[in-house]
Amino acid sequence: MSDSSREIHSLRLVRVPIFSNKNTVSAYALKFIKGHYSEQNGLDEKTDLTPSVFKKINEQTYPKLFADTKLWMPFSRYLGKNARSLPLNGRQLIIELLPDTPSDRETVDQVTELSRLGYQIAAPGKWFIDNSNSIAVLAKIAVLNYEEIVEDNMLAARIAVVSSKQLLRHVNDEAAFQLFQSSQLTSYTGSFYLHPPLQDAESLPKEKLHRVQLLAKIQNPSVDFIEVRQALSQDQSITNSLLEYINSPVFKLESQVSSTQQALGLLGLNVLKQWLMVAIVGEMVTGNQYEPLRVAFIRARMCELIARKMGSKKSGRYFLVGLLSGLEMLLAVPTEKAIELMGLSDKMKGFLLDYEGVIGSTLGSVIAFEQGDWENAKHQKVSDATMQKAYLNAIVWSKAVIEQIEKS
């Protein structure tokens, strides 16, 4: 019996980054679903999933998942009735009033108490300027949709007069991002960070091109340790990064590793090559733009964990496919061009572009899951609960790796 055939409705939870106008992550919005109910159903206590969400977060512990980054959740009856005993305080949680939030006395009293306790309240932007909801006076953050400011080009300016903080939703492409910038709003969310403006492969800086070529060599299954060592002799910084990872708390080794030869003896060639690829991709970050790298690492780790759950002996290949799926974000080069630059096989191309085979379909499910596209996130061979566990594990793993990169 497959894992998925035993599936019952389980909570699925992902985090969606919210970016400041400096393009750094300022908060994570939580997106979740269980059965027929989602984050949109929190106004009815019978369908409110907020208690389940907090329970899931506490299983991993909040700091491991979110560090000092704030969470963004829609207002729910659970939040309103438990304002004084919530597991997250006002420095950790932003609460959004959705357009259908009622303005009855009970809700007003609950939101007032949340605001008094230090929770920031967000509300639809139009509430700030047309007095259509009496709770708006409690809100500090105005929420707008890209489509709204396209339709009314003065709306953003009018909102900025009455609210010093704004969030623009649906920033999914360069046009929307440029409008966000020109409107001088304070934060945005959407899939733009996954699809940056692309450039020709020929425009890649020489250093990044070298990294791509090195990655292409290391990922080749037929490349042995002697060839790996020869390739690394041309890039001491990658060797240094590799040794820093291995000696970091990620591995928890009892003694220091001082050479790739020693690392080979401890890890074996396949694991060594996997961590070399992590080190190479980690060097592709531009400035402090870590979110695309975080996404690539989460995909890689999720794919690997799902492969292990299925009993596959090729979990390293799954990891690689997840990692390579992030090259378009990291290099701002079309995936097809990155594949061409690396000289990847037709089979790898099929995994990455068309989600072919079990490896490709796993990648497709992982990408759908990370975006909260629940309909397409179903995996043929593992349950939703397995996907969820892999996702949270991957967040914790990627956080530890990126912390090491930031120290380097």
Q: What is the pLDDT of residues 44-97, one digit of tens each?
A: 999 999 999 998 888 767 677 777 789 999 999 999 999 999 989 999 999 999
Question: Taking the CA of residue 182 as centre, how many other CA atoms within 13 Å lie in the half-sphere pointing to its CB?
Answer: 12
Q: What pLDDT is attached to residue 2? A: 46
d(CA 209, CA 347): 23
d(CA 229, CA 273): 11
**CATH superfamily ID and name for 201-407:** Hypothetical protein af1432 (1.10.3210.10)
pLDDT tens digits, one per residue of 92-143: 999 999 999 998 999 999 999 999 999 999 999 999 988 767 788 999 999 9
CATH 3.40.309.10 fits domain 4-193: no
Reply yes or no on whether the pLDDT at 8 is more than 60: no
Within the chain, all domains assigned CATH 3.20.20.450 are found at: 4-193
pLDDT tens digits, one per residue of 245-269: 899 888 888 889 999 999 999 889 9
Within the chain, all domains assigned CATH 1.10.3210.10 are found at: 201-407
Q: What pLDDT is attached to residue 9? A: 64
Contacts of 226 (CB under 8 A, 6+ apart): none
d(CA 342, CA 284): 15
pLDDT tens digits, one per residue of 195-240: 888 888 778 888 888 889 999 999 999 999 999 999 888 888 899 9
d(CA 210, CA 214): 6
Give me the mean pLDDT over the 360-365 stretch. Answer: 97
What is the C-alpha end-to-end distance of the chain, expressed in Å? 46
* pTM beyond 0.75: yes
**3-state secondary structure at position 86:** coil
Q: What pLDDT is attached to residue 96? A: 97
Per-residue confidence band for 5, with pLDDT thresholds at 50, 70 and 90: very low
Q: What percent of the chain has pLDDT over 70?
A: 96
CB burial readout 211-244, b (16+ within 10 A) else e: bbbbbbbbbbeebeeeebeebbeebeebbebbbb
Q: What pLDDT is attached to residue 406? A: 82
Give me the mean pLDDT over the 31-52 stretch. Answer: 93
